[in-house]
Chains A and B, each alone.
Chain A
Amino acid sequence: RKEVEQDPGPFNVPEGATVAFNCTYSNSASQSFFWYRQDCRKEPKLLMSVYSSGNEDGRFTAQLNRASQYISLLIRDSKLSDSATYLCVAPSLYNQGGKLIFGQGTELSVKP
């Protein structure tokens, strides 16, 4: 089982839709998580940090479920510009030095 798993998608949604991605992680002791956005062949950019139960920033909400060991990203009122790959990041289960593991990414395509 991978340490961080995401549904690769693609998620094809119309403009204005609400879409949610889930990400499961293996390290039950993890305290910090991150969501990154990556446009095609460009660098990943930090979207949100999640340190407790969740975080909200405008149309984006991240939630953490420690019991089930998953984090989710909710995007409301999707825009065409939200089309990208979303990467979930969590600390490694096997490395005590705080190494971050990236999920494979979930591809989102927002259509007019």
Chain B
Amino acid sequence: EAQVTQNPRYLITVTGKKLTVTCSQNMNHEYMSWYRQDPGLGLRQIYYSMNVEVTDKGDVPEGYKVSRKEKRNFPLILESPSPNQTSLYFCASSLSRFGSPLHFGNGTRLTVT
């Protein structure tokens, strides 16, 4: 089944404790992206990647890192999480950046205390 898989689904952590949210897609998509969704603010792009070893900042990249060492994986790293990073996170992929719809993972609900 074609899908984008995120893990974990739920994560509660404390301020400053490094964490990684994994994202993997099995559709051979070139483009991958991370979003966060907060009430009243909609979906905001954190980072994106147009292909292996090609990543760039989105609208809200502060406090996050990403890597794209393989085409299928695009992990999101929070080196020192803070409470303002409490949010619902989505990974998404598409065949290409132009004209292709995004396919979303099922989300990670992160709480930082």
Question: Do A and B come together as binding partners?
Answer: yes
Residues of chain A having any CB pair with chain B under 8 Å: 31-32, 34, 41-46, 49, 51, 87, 89, 97-100, 102-105
Place the interface of chain B in its size category. Answer: 20 to 34
**Dominant secondary structure of chain A at its interface with chain B:** loop
Among residues of A, the one whose C-beta sits closest to the C-beta of B105 is A43
Name the interface residues of B66-113: CB closer than 8 Å to any CB of A. Answer: 88, 90, 96-107, 109
Q: Is the CB of B105 within 8 A of A34?
A: no
Task: Tell me the number of A-to-B contacts counted with CB atoms below 8 Å.
Answer: 45
B31, chain A: closest CB distance, angstroms: 9
Q: Is the CB of A43 within 8 A of B42?
A: no
Which A residues lie within 8 Å of B50 (CB)?
Answer: 97
Q: Is the CB of A98 within 8 A of B104?
A: no
Q: Is the CB of B42 within 8 A of A41?
A: no
Among residues of A, the one whose C-beta sits closest to the C-beta of B41 is A104
Bound Cα distance A49, B100 (Å): 9
Residues of chain B having any CB pair with chain A under 8 Å: 40, 42-43, 45, 48, 50, 88, 90, 96-107, 109
Pick from B42, B45, B104: contact of A104, CB under 8 Å: B42
Q: Is the CB of B107 within 8 A of A41?
A: yes
Bound Cα distance A7, B89 (Å): 24
Which B residues lie within 8 Å of A31 (CB)?
Answer: 99
Bound Cα distance A102, B96 (Å): 17
Among residues of B, the one whose C-beta sits closest to the C-beta of A30 is B99
Q: Is the CB of A41 within 8 A of B104?
A: no
Pick from A46, A98, A105: contact of B97, CB under 8 Å: A98
Q: Is the CB of B42 within 8 A of A105?
A: yes
Contact status of A97 and B101, CB under 8 A, knowing A42-B107, A104-B42:
no
Which of B98, B103, B106 lies at the interface centre, i.e. has the most chain A CB atoms within 10 A of its CB? B98
